[in-house]
A and B are shown apart, each in its own frame.
Chain A
Amino acid sequence: MTPRIEITHVSKRFSRKSELVERLAERAGLKAPKPVVHALDDVSLTVGSGEVVGIVGESGCGKSTLGRIVAGILDASAGEIRYKGQTLAEMPDRQAAQARLDVQMIFQDPSSSLNPRHRVDEIVGAAALRHGKTTRAGLADYVAEQMRRAGLDPAMSRRFPHQFSGGQRQRIGIARALAVQPDMLICDESVASLDVSIQAQILNLFMDLRRDLNLTYMFISHDLSVVEHISDRVVVMYLGRIVEEAPVAELFAHPAHPYTRALLQEIPQLDTKRRHYAPIKGEIPSPLAPPSGCHFHPRCPLAMPRCALERPELRQIGPAHRSACHLND
């Protein structure tokens, strides 16, 4: 079967725009050009149809950048992405537009992604109407259906976003995404700013939608317990690279990469009695100047001389289990 998404050798570099004075200085050779951030560095990943792939890693490791590129909001600097077998460039314009619509993104902060001056029915219905998913005559019913599906009372459709709680605002964002009938959602920290009791409600909604609409998910979160609960497969990133990837049960039972192992040890557990914190040493290095070789080597308890020199390749270490570490050799 053709995978829903195939990401091959995708890189993304951001360069900060220089001020005019700085640019002149650069041109005169007085100043080095602005540093480039390697937000993604040769990332390859496949997402099957109907699969939930969790993406974890510390802030700045490139999770959002990857999500945005797959959602077509950002362009990759190198590499390619196939949507059901084809890149957007290979598709005729109409088909490419549809392929973009098929992948919808749900953001962390529901408030900032909703226009405060629009009523809920406008927010939910606008894109659906524009893309011909409903007619003007059928709009009210259509919006009501999306709201119900997202767990909102359609009677509230004439209200403004600020009249809702945080959890309800996230539901509005979900209703808006569903209204264009996507078959894939990219959730970027979509429950991170919600209270625990509301988190459970929204996670349940995501699981219901998956079952009812056969959705594919890329589920980005720094919260490993959330990712463990909802994902079929988990991808661990560190400074722009995938360091490990495995089916969820395998990853949590047999983490292979030293970074994954350390990360799993750091998560506070509800059931551990008073524990002694013995954390990973050191900071997350700056992506402006990532360490040579294996990006994790300055913090890795198992680092060898080779680790500072050579980038470890992401390779198969078990059925559907990949890891990027020289210890695998």
Chain B
Amino acid sequence: MTAPMLEIRNLRTEFATDAGRVTVIDEVSFTLNRGQVLGLVGESGSGKSVTGFSIMGLIDPPGQVSGGQILFKGEDLRTLPEPRMRALRGNRIAMIFQDPAMTLNPVLRIDTQMIETILAHEKVSKTVARDRARDALGMVGIPSPEERLRAYPHQFSGGMRQRVAIAIALLHRPDLIIADEPTTALDVTIQAQILAVVQRLARDHGTGLIWITHDLSVIAGLADRVAVMYAGRIVEHGDVDTVIRTPRHPYTHGLIGSLPSRNPRGQHLKQITGTTPAIAALPQGCAFRPRCARATEACLAAPPVTQTEGRLLRCFHPVTEGEAA
């Protein structure tokens, strides 16, 4: 078997805060193969974006990736000098942000931005670059791309702007795309259009996708594998159908059980009690302990990581298959 395209090993990222240095993600490990889609889910503040930014090398000091390896095609991105990292970014690895304004420059026409992006990484003529830009717009479903190339970002609707940002991410046919909640602010019909585009990309071009979202239903239809984060750690990770059908970590189990579609219409929803802990003041041992109905004395220690049948769990007392059904 060939090495995975991306292998993350024990990634740890810290930030400096008023309360001192805070470890925001820790022991994050996963692999991604060509054409594979990994869904990264979790509540707000659980560390999804920080994971994406860490892989991209976009954590600004005084924050820093302080441990682990980010192996992209066998090479550890943490050891790459910044010029080489910059050459990879936007070329082989691209990120799509929740807010397209992070990608688009408001004062430049779309064609200017797209051509600049291409020329930053490739020696081609302007005409060739322009053709590529137009094709990329067409690919994400923007009607009359030739005309739209001459527009400014503000002349597009929110959904269109996001598609332009995606088109820019696609320009170099990257091997890896990290998408950070790119459809969260969009309507379902527009979301479905964007999902159709990225799905085609993974299938036809072998692009690996990390799709960050808080919406498990999106992951269900899109991803091959899912990693569930809680308080900076991956607590459950496995094949998407298996995890959604039989969640075994008490958090994943509670989360899926609380969805309206898993409860009889009009009845009380099964709910997880309590709220997400502040990352700077995590409870001792398992971070989910204060909200967990299965917690015991044992959970005052850090839970072990177990791996069975391709599923990773970080829990002393996982829900058993029988209970999960």
Query: In the bound complex, do residue A277 and residue B196 qualify as a contact, i.e. CB atoms below 8 Å apart?
Result: yes
A328 within 8 A of B: no
Query: In the bound complex, do residue A277 and residue B192 qualify as a contact, i.e. CB atoms below 8 Å apart?
Result: yes
A260-287 CB mask vs B (1 if < 8 Å, else 0) is: 0011001111111111111110111000
Query: In the bound complex, do residue B268 and residue A279 qualify as a contact, i.e. CB atoms below 8 Å apart?
Result: no
B193 within 8 A of A: yes
Query: In the bound complex, do residue B275 and residue A266 qualify as a contact, i.e. CB atoms below 8 Å apart?
Result: no
Of A117-125, A182-190, A198-206, A319-327, which stretch is located at the interface? A198-206
Query: In the bound complex, do residue A270 and residue B192 qualify as a contact, i.e. CB atoms below 8 Å apart?
Result: no
- A222 to B189 Cα, complex, angstroms: 11
Q: In the complex, what's the smallest C-beta–C-beta distance from B229 to chain A, in angstroms? A: 12
B104 within 8 A of A: no
Which chain A residues border B259 with CB–CB below 8 Å? 196, 200, 225, 270
Of A13-21, A212-220, A226-234, which stretch is located at the interface? A226-234
- A266 to B217 Cα, complex, angstroms: 11
Query: In the bound complex, do residue A283 and residue B268 qualify as a contact, i.e. CB atoms below 8 Å apart?
Result: no
Of B89-97, B121-129, B250-258, which stretch is located at the interface? B250-258
Given contacts A229-B266, A283-B159, contact A276 B241 (CB under 8 A): no
B306 within 8 A of A: no
B204-233 CB mask vs A (1 if < 8 Å, else 0) is: 000000000011111011101000000000
B103 within 8 A of A: no
Query: In the bound complex, do residue A222 and residue B271 qualify as a contact, i.e. CB atoms below 8 Å apart?
Result: no
Which chain A residues border B143 with CB–CB below 8 Å? 282
Please name the residue on chain B nearest to A167 by beta carbon: B275
- A196 to B262 Cα, complex, angstroms: 13
Kindly name the residue among B159, B222, B260 whose own CB sees the greatest number of chain A CB atoms within 10 A.
B260
- A201 to B254 Cα, complex, angstroms: 12
- A165 to B281 Cα, complex, angstroms: 14
B270 within 8 A of A: yes
Query: In the bound complex, do residue A279 and residue B196 qualify as a contact, i.e. CB atoms below 8 Å apart?
Result: yes
Given contacts A249-B265, A271-B261, A274-B221, contact A200 B272 (CB under 8 A): yes
Given contacts A195-B44, A200-B271, A270-B262, contact A58 B187 (CB under 8 A): yes
Which chain B residues border A269 with CB–CB below 8 Å? 217, 220-221, 261
Please name the residue on chain B nearest to A198 by beta carbon: B275
Which chain A residues border B268 with CB–CB below 8 Å? 204, 207
- A29 to B32 Cα, complex, angstroms: 63
Interface size, chain B (Cβ < 8 Å): 47
Interface size, chain A (Cβ < 8 Å): 44
Q: In the complex, what's the smallest C-beta–C-beta distance from B172 to chain A, in angstroms? A: 24
Which chain A residues border B260 with CB–CB below 8 Å? 203, 225-226, 228-230
Q: In the complex, what's the smallest C-beta–C-beta distance from B243 to chain A, in angstroms? A: 11
Please name the residue on chain B nearest to A195 by beta carbon: B43
- A17 to B157 Cα, complex, angstroms: 21
Which chain B residues border A59 with CB–CB below 8 Å? 187
Please name the residue on chain B nearest to A226 by beta carbon: B260
Which chain A residues border B224 with CB–CB below 8 Å? 274
Query: In the bound complex, do residue B188 and residue A58 qualify as a contact, i.e. CB atoms below 8 Å apart?
Result: yes
Which chain B residues border A249 with CB–CB below 8 Å? 265
Which chain B residues border A168 with CB–CB below 8 Å? 275
Q: In the complex, what's the smallest C-beta–C-beta distance from B50 to chain A, in angstroms? A: 17
Which chain A residues border B192 with CB–CB below 8 Å? 266, 277, 279-280
Q: In the complex, what's the smallest C-beta–C-beta distance from A178 to chain B, in angstroms? A: 19
Query: In the bound complex, do residue B187 and residue A229 qualify as a contact, i.e. CB atoms below 8 Å apart?
Result: no
Which chain A residues border B187 with CB–CB below 8 Å? 58-59, 222, 284
A248 within 8 A of B: yes
B113 within 8 A of A: no
Query: In the bound complex, do residue A204 and residue B271 qualify as a contact, i.e. CB atoms below 8 Å apart?
Result: yes
Kindly name the residue among B199, B254, B272, B275 whose own CB sees the greatest number of chain A CB atoms within 10 A.
B275
Please name the residue on chain A nearest to B156 by beta carbon: A283
Q: CB within 8 A of A58: which of B189, B195, B256?
A: B189
- Within A33-75, the residues touching B (CB, 8 Å) are 58-59
Please name the residue on chain B nearest to A285 by beta carbon: B157
- Within A152-206, the residues touching B (CB, 8 Å) are 165, 167-168, 195-201, 203-204
Query: In the bound complex, do residue A272 and residue B221 qualify as a contact, i.e. CB atoms below 8 Å apart?
Result: yes
Query: In the bound complex, do residue B220 and residue A201 qualify as a contact, i.e. CB atoms below 8 Å apart?
Result: no
- A262 to B241 Cα, complex, angstroms: 25
B16 within 8 A of A: no
13 interchain pairs (CB within 8 A)? A59-B187, A167-B275, A196-B258, A198-B275, A200-B258, A225-B261, A226-B260, A266-B188, A270-B256, A271-B220, A274-B240, A275-B221, A284-B157
Question: Can you list the 6 inter-chain pairs with the closest CB atoms, starting with the nearest?
Answer: A279-B192, A229-B260, A277-B196, A268-B217, A200-B258, A58-B187
State the A residues within 8 Å of B (CB): 58-59, 165, 167-168, 195-201, 203-204, 207, 222, 224-226, 228-230, 248-249, 262-263, 266-280, 282-284
